[in-house]
């Protein structure tokens, strides 16, 4: 029950006669690497007598080393069931404790006890409750004042009695009862669960985890001491665990200014999504409503459940406070109200050179319009991009309107007259969730943003095991690295005068609000959750000579780690999602000019990190033929500049 990612084995040596040798108990069993977090062996036979029990590292070749902890003597009595548990905080030296087990005295009886194995939590009460899910209250504390490494003291609590081994016997004959755990002497529950009480059942409910490690959340973990084991392990769930594959994928369907035309990639993206093998899929950078509809339809056979929200320029921000807790006043004037002449000159040039149909106010840009504008309209556009604050705000409006395929006439009118005309695609969002399992009670949450609408989807999915897992899907603001084409014109830049720092401040604020949202909903109720999406911050990895993956805004990424555990196998390297060797970014035979980064992320709330089975990149195949022109031969590229990332996570029932 030690909250860490190590594995442990046990050496059991009889003390009589002295000098006997021991071998690691599990070295030849079905778990040769030892026991992991929350693992409990099945019962096995031991002769009556006194033993030395030593905790060693998993895969230990022998029992000759001093070990990590020792319990001696450990007495095994005739006809008594004896259990030894390894406890600790994962930092200091662990300890071993021994307890005997009690079986029901009646055929309809079920014995239950609580063992406190959470090192950072004080004494607790555990008993019958108003609900097996939070919020809940302890209505009848059957086990009172249980401290770390202990069980309840023998005695009578209310109408129940606790035996010398810490058990209470329920004469119920079957079914489940809601139980909850609260700080000693209080009723408001920290955790709640259903305890199965089938006749003849004997169970230990473990309080495990630690509040200072998101990878080891506080949980109630119940092990059946008498049921048939699962291989060499005791049966410690109320059903069959389910391995759930969750994935996030950035499609980069970002609009007319994307360097990688969406018109070239769209069919491949639909095909890849429709053939995905993940159970739950968070798609990001899908800005156009038509693209969302097409993706959902293409994937309907595999993903019968889908969810996204429809927003527009008038959609209110759910939490509009800035970094100081103030709510900025919304803009009251149109972005180009002070730059009308320069706006008209720029749009006239674009109208006459870069839209279809040409020379028409109803002309709209096509994919790749940026190249035409740079070559044909650089002068009129520079009057905006290189101007003062008013001109830059006007340019930002022009960029976002044309990026969303708006006509010249619509862009001109919006930027001259509409104070809200600052978001691309008319304020639509870019996230959607696809699921093989039912989505129940989904909702959206709008965050502050300057040019691209930012939101968080909350899409709880109901697994076949009956467990509800909250799924959050988001794409946060991409900080600009250059400010000529993307100046900061928003209200959430923390007062930074440097454009690059202002964009980072906006991302930082969104990250903080994402954490607060998930913790306020799922974390507060100890509901398991996946948090997926394009965080635009990520960890790095250096192989000792170079950065294989470059850390991306590490100070912002660090805001996620006290709250969530990255869904990665312990010790694994970060997964590159925006990679320098992607053919979109480095043509075949070329030398990468950008650093490889992990911009997409999958995080866990209230799921132990030890339940992550694998993490892999997806959507890496080159499936689209790209013709760069200029005499360069066409070559194959993936469907997006970004790869997807998938994690397989075991979810307990």
pLDDT digits 0-9 by tens, 562-602: 999 999 998 889 999 999 999 999 999 999 989 999 999 99
CA angle 72, 76, 77 (to 5 degrees): 140
pLDDT of res. 236: 87
pLDDT value at 188 more than 90: yes
Domain boundaries, the chain: 1-101, 102-238, 242-312+426-445+454-476+527-651, 340-421
Whole-structure pTM value = 0.95
Write down the CATH number for the domain with range 242-312+426-445+454-476+527-651: 3.60.10.10
**CA separation for the pair 487, 385 (Å, rounded):** 8
pLDDT value at 352 more than 80: yes
Confidence band (pLDDT; 50, 70, 90) for 400? very high
598 in Cβ contact with 552 (< 8 Å): yes
Question: Hunting for tokens 């965080």 — which residue is that?
Answer: 535
Q: Which of 92, 83, 127 is nearest to 220 (CA)?
A: 127
554 phi and psi, to 5 degrees? -60, -30
pLDDT of res. 25: 85
Average pLDDT score over the chain: 95
pLDDT value at 207 more than 90: yes
185 in Cβ contact with 171 (< 8 Å): no
- Compute CA 494 distance to the chain's CA centroid, rounded to the nearest angstrom: 27
pLDDT value at 228 more than 90: no
Residue 631 CB contacts under 8 Å (≥ 6 apart), including other chains: none
pLDDT of res. 198: 85
């Amino acid at each position: 029950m030690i909250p860490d990612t190590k594995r442990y084995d046990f050496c059991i040596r009889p003390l009589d006669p002295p000098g006997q040798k021991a071998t690691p108990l599990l070295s030849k069993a079905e778990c040769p690497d030892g026991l992991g977090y929350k693992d409990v062996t099945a019962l096995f036979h031991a002769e009556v007598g006194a033993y030395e029990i030593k905790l060693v590292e998993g895969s230990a070749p022998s029992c000759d080393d001093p070990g990590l902890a020792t319990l001696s003597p450990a007495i095994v009595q005739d006809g008594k069931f004896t259990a030894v548990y390894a406890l600790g905080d994962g930092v200091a030296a662990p300890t071993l404790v021994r307890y005997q087990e009690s079986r029901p005295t009646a055929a309809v009886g079920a014995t239950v006890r609580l063992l406190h194995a959470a090192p950072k939590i004080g004494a607790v009460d555990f008993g019958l409750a108003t609900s097996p899910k939070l919020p809940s209250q302890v209505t009848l504390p059957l086990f009172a004042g249980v401290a770390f490494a202990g069980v309840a003291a023998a005695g009578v609590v209310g109408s129940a009695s606790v035996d010398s081994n810490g058990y209470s016997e329920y004469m119920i004959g079957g079914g489940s009862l809601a139980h909850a755990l609260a700080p000693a002497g209080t009723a408001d529950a920290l955790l709640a669960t259903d305890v199965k009480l089938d006749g003849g059942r004997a169970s230990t409910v473990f309080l495990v985890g630690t509040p200072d490690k998101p990878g080891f959340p506080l949980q109630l973990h119940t092990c059946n001491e008498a049921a048939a084991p699962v291989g060499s392990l005791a049966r410690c769930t109320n059903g069959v665990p389910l391995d759930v594959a969750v994935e996030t994928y950035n499609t980069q369907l970002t609009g007319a200014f994307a360097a990688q035309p969406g018109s070239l990639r769209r069919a491949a993206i639909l095909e890849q999504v429709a053939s995905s093998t993940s159970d739950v899929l968070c798609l990001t950078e899908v800005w156009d409503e038509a693209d969302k509809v097409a993706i959902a339809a293409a994937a309907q056979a595999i993903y019968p459940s889908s969810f996204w929200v429809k927003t527009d320029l008038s959609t209110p921000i759910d939490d509009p406070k800035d970094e100081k807790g103030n709510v900025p006043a919304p803009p009251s004037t149109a972005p180009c109200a002070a730059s009308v002449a320069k706006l008209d000159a720029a749009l006239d040039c674009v109208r006459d050179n870069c839209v279809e149909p040409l020379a028409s106010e109803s002309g709209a840009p096509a994919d790749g319009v940026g190249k035409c504008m740079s070559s044909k309209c650089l002068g009129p556009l520079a009057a905006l991009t290189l101007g003062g604050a008013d001109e830059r705000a006007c340019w930002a409006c022009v960029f976002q309107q044309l990026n969303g395929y708006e006509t010249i006439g619509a862009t001109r009118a919006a930027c001259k007259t509409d104070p809200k005309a600052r978001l691309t695609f008319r304020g639509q969002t870019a996230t959607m969730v696809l699921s093989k399992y039912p989505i129940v009670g989904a909702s959206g949450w709008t965050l502050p943003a300057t040019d691209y609408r930012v939101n968080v989807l909350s899409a709880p999915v109901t697994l076949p095991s009956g467990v509800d897992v909250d799924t959050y899907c988001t794409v946060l603001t991409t900080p600009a690295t250059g400010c000529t084409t993307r100046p900061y014109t928003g209200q959430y830049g923390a007062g930074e005068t440097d454009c690059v720092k202002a964009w980072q401040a906006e991302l930082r604020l969104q990250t903080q609000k994402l954490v607060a949202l998930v913790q306020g909903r799922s974390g507060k109720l100890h509901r398991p959750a996946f948090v997926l999406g394009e965080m635009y911050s990520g960890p790095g990895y250096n192989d000792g000579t170079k950065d294989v993956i470059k850390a991306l805004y590490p100070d912002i990424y660090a805001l996620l780690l006290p709250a969530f555990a990255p869904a990665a196998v312990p010790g694994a390297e970060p997964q590159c999602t925006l990679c320098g060797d992607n053919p979109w970014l480095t043509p075949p035979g070329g030398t990468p000019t950008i650093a490889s980064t992990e911009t997409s992320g999958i995080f866990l709330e209230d799921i132990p990190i030890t339940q992550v089975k694998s993490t892999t990149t997806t959507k890496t195949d080159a499936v689209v033929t790209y013709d760069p022109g200029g005499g360069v031969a066409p070559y194959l590229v993936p469907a997006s500049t970004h790869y997807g990332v998938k994690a397989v996570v075991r979810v307990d029932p």
